[in-house]
Structure 1
């Protein structure tokens, strides 16, 4: 798989950068979308190489989504693979303490952002007659987790959107799948650890590892390998699927 145009939202984050690197290493061009120019510049410096395009964009704003899709098409004429990846944790609070505004923010980024990406990328892929989309869900798309009502709700919604989009897009030779990571060693996980045990992230980290059959956190690169497979033609008969990257947590 070479010479592909790969669009990645949340491209400055840990998993976004790991997916980008996997594609860059395999001869593809990546378009990174994220909210802040500074973060995008840092990601580009970290990744290196010339085949990187940066777009500042807000996945919750429909006009902004239209623009990042349009700019990609203007520059490259196509979108071969779309990683609908942007997301946040939100505050760790039980339902009774979570403000509606906090819930709305989580749902806006994690769910509406995915919906808008699908809404505006799928028509372009229909015009092309092909395409592959990989949404970033979570292993929490299958379960509940006390203290994370907004995040859990948003990722359950991503699972539903993935399956629905896969059915709608199949006749146009477009595949839609999702990765379902858990306990991946990124800034988002560090944020959870700091919230669980302020000032002692190692303490909550060890407790979290006890719930993982492999006994360790995953790496962004391990997620990227699965995401790369789903985006590639090696997964040509795979659509509507959720691929766990969780060290066996769903098997427990």
Structure 2
């Protein structure tokens, strides 16, 4: 069965007026600094009542980001640019083949519950993974979404491990959220070797393709949209 995080949407995350969230998918690899500036501007406009909420799906060129809890010793090999950012969390990797979702929601209209938002983001990812028959899970004391992998060694001995498939890191300003999630579709998993992802040393990372699910980015985007609408309400393509 799927994680309990998928069991039901949190009604407090739904807007009472059912106003749709703008849904944008950007082609190519977006510059990180420019994307962060665009988020900042949009957050200010949402707070001022001058713009609608937005989910922005994109990819970045290879880079590392450091959240407010990042520890210097977790940067093992700065083989790509490192961006210090105000989001929650520690070090993470972004790169081609990874779907990044920047989530700019007005929590003043959605229950004013930051922890509830994080739970909703977890359910969003878990629901999208379920569209491909992948069981995503949340783990106590760990941020993000995980999958449990099992198999047999050549000697016939059973093994099991937990790998991270999606990261979550958000920031909230004046009850408007930004930053968001990253879901590994088909990134180069070796690129994660330059950091300790999210400060967790004892577990690995995986992707849909690594699990044998050869989904395209368009198919992943469609699954994300279906699951998002269940958790947060209607969307409208920009």
TM-score scaled to structure 2, two decimals?
0.33
* Structure number with higher relative contact order (C-alpha < 8 Å, ≥ 6 residues apart): 2
Q: Answer 1 or 2: which has greater strand percent.
A: 2
TM-score scaled to structure 1, two decimals?
0.32
